[in-house]
A and B are shown apart, each in its own frame.
Chain A
């Protein structure tokens, strides 16, 4: 009976404590933005910011911009400072009574100042979504998600009108899983081809598509985590095929292996390899999805 009362107490007074959030707007990079122009992620990429209530109760969600903490800053990028937050507009910032399983959406509109001094510059910002309650209970456990948005200003101005930019539109018509692999205790001098795993590429388009699969060079990788090094040679990652035709609505897999030569300089290191997958087309918007391979050597 005592236990029953305790449970009842928990249910009545503490229902706000069970919550959860998730988002697949995790880490996005947009390149080649033109000064003086405005870009809507919803209109151009059909990709608004999204945040889902994964808890069993309704919750309130607040979305806001934050200066990216140093530790998440990728090499070559700079922090978009608070005074420049007006470059990024969140269409909607407060969502009340979001039902369980419901996803809150907000367009992100990037407006680049018409200023030649920012040509070629790269910026990074954090978008945070967090639950909040108006409950009067003395202890509240809330949840938050921090997503990374990186954007790069074009090095050269293109003759493009705002109207032309507004007409740009693409549907992301392929999926890649997983986003990452972890290889720990890779023994450098084993001289065996190590099977890292399989990358699955799903063509969600109504037409068949050709894909290019590539292990990226340091120059092609858009920065890595602080505690990792760029791959000494992208060819240490062996990919079973570099071109793939995938029929409509089908998936194919690519096997990835690792073979790092037996050299002292490669021992006890943390390398980050990146495999980039992109459709082999010639559209006005390039899309690439990546799988990162984190390798710790012994």
Chain B
């Protein structure tokens, strides 16, 4: 009889314990939605004012590779490490290209990632790549540089670091000297 009572008490105890356990499990899982924030800081990209070498790009018969040089200095002034990529679009409305030169039907944008001093001398070479696109004697429209351009080169840039970039733009040898328009997007990606 004593043993039976003991067993009964034990069963009661076990049931109570399992109820308590399941109750606490329910309590900890009572959330119906979870929000997780992996990067709570700022992603940012800003060019450094005054360090962009500007000028018109005019396709003409004398342009040869590397062509017109442009410089863009930009910086990760956010609080996050970011992975930077570059995309380009070339708007070559009405440009007719000569057909007898190697660069005749190409527009190339060479990007050199690195750091420059105030005299524009490259002090720290990090890598480079060339965006290029081929187009026929165009009548209009926008040319994406290439389908992978969004991922051209990703460089992790720590918060506060400069990652400067130099462009050499060769609009090709155009027979009519019309203007070629180029847009470059520098993108900071959450990486």
Contact = CB atoms under 8 A, between A and B. Distances in A.
Q: Do A and B interact with each other, yes or no?
A: yes
Interface of A: 10, 13-14, 17-24, 26-33, 39, 44-45, 47, 54-56, 66, 69, 71-72, 126, 128, 130, 136-148, 158, 160, 168, 170, 172, 175-180, 182, 222, 225, 282-290, 292
A27 B39 contact: yes
Interface of B: 27-28, 30-47, 49, 52, 54-58, 70, 72, 74, 77-81, 83, 85, 87, 150-151, 154, 158, 169, 179-191
Contacts of A19: 46-47
Contact of B187 (A17, A32, A71, A128): A128
Nearest to B55: A139
Given A24-B42, A27-B39, A143 B185 contact: yes
Contacts, number: 216
23 contacts: A14-B52, A20-B46, A21-B44, A22-B44, A29-B37, A32-B32, A66-B150, A69-B151, A72-B191, A139-B183, A142-B185, A143-B46, A143-B74, A145-B45, A145-B187, A148-B38, A148-B190, A177-B40, A179-B38, A179-B80, A284-B31, A290-B36, A290-B38
Contacts of B28: 282
Contacts of A20: 44-47, 77
A120 to B, nearest CB: 14
Specify which of B49, B54, B74 lies most central, judged by the most chain A CB atoms within 10 Å of its CB.
B54
Given A32-B32, A168-B33, A17 B43 contact: no
Contacts of B70: 139
A130 B54 CA distance: 21
B161 to A, nearest CB: 12
Contacts of B39: 26-27, 179-180
Contact of B36 (A28, A141, A145): A28
Specify which of A18, A140, A145 lies most central, judged by the most chain B CB atoms within 10 Å of its CB.
A145
B37 A288 contact: yes
Contacts of B78: 22
A175 B32 CA distance: 22
B37 A17 contact: no
A178 B79 contact: yes
Given A26-B190, A141-B186, A284-B30, A147 B43 contact: yes
B31 A176 contact: no
B191 A139 contact: no
A250 B126 CA distance: 42
B58 A31 contact: no
A289 B95 CA distance: 52
Contacts of B33: 30-33, 39, 44, 168, 284-286
Given A17-B52, A168-B32, A23 B42 contact: yes
Given A139-B56, A287-B35, A22 B43 contact: yes
